[in-house]
Amino acid sequence: MSDKFPNLTVLHHPVIEHKLARMRDVNTPHFQFQTLLEEISIFLFYEASAALETVPYPLDTPLEPLTGRRLKHEVLLVPILRAGIGISSGITKVWSEAVVGMIGMYRDHDTLQPVDYFLRLPANLGDMTTFLLDPMLATGGSAAAAAAKLKEKGARRLVLITLIAAPEGVAHLAEQHPDMKIYTAALDRQLNEKGYILPGLGDAGDRYFGV
């Protein structure tokens, strides 16, 4: 956990550091960037899912009865389009039974305000644990608006998985959604005058899709 931001967990792991450095490198092509984001997302989900509740249930092994455990709440992944897709693609490799919703949102280049254009969510999301996914937490405007939309639709257990967070975005989200925990691979220095994270990795959507 971070001292300054009690809701924030920054994962310090040599494999994540190695992969994230390659993602930041301007010379890394989009097809490698995709693989790296998906791979790091598995580590992030491992950590972010550690607090999920389980319940007992009876089963039979080939040899004897046993009380097994299963997740109490179904997992819902909600990537923010576009770049959040990279995180859901990674997580579903290790949790294929996840339900995947989607929020389409982009930042207006001039105002930096989020503009939403798409929403697809399951009707029973209040019964689930919802992981909101977006690799970049910059001003925090997109994540905060997406979280508000999810809550409006009934989401209750809400967690954000991101790759790189700016202090400004973490502070904004903590203020707007103090109940929400944030898991990230890095807490970067600051935003520049155009709202890009420094040192960051540039535009995550462009770098993931190559356009």
Please tell me whether residue 136 binds ligand URA under the rule CB under 6 A. yes
Sign of the alpha-carbon torsion through 5, 45, 100, 114: positive
Question: In angstroms, what is the minimal distance from the CB of 181 to ligand URA?
Answer: 21
Side-chain half-sphere CA neighbours of 123 within 13 A: 0
Please tell me whether residue 169 binds ligand URA under the rule CB under 6 A. no
Task: Tell me the three state secondary structure of residue 123.
Answer: coil
Q: Pick from 125, 138, 147, 186 the residue near ligand URA by CB under 6 A.
A: 138
How many residues lie near ligand PRP (CB under 6 A)?
24
* Cα–Cα distance for residue pair 129/52, rounded to 1 Å: 8
Burial bucket for residue 62 (CB in 10 Å: 0-12, 13-18, 19+) = exposed
Q: Pick from 5, 46, 95, 106 the residue near ligand PRP by CB under 6 A.
A: 106
Please tell me whether residue 143 binds ligand URA under the rule CB under 6 A. no
Q: Which of 8, 81, 77, 6 is nearest to 41 (CA)?
A: 77
Chain residues 191-210 in contact with ligand URA, contact rule CB under 6 A: 195-197, 200, 203-205
Side-chain half-sphere CA neighbours of 16 within 13 A: 19
Please tell me whether residue 102 binds ligand PRP under the rule CB under 6 A. no
Contact positions vs ligand PRP (CB under 6 A) = 80-83, 105-107, 112, 114, 134-143, 169, 195, 203-205
Contact positions vs ligand URA (CB under 6 A) = 136, 138, 195-197, 200, 203-205
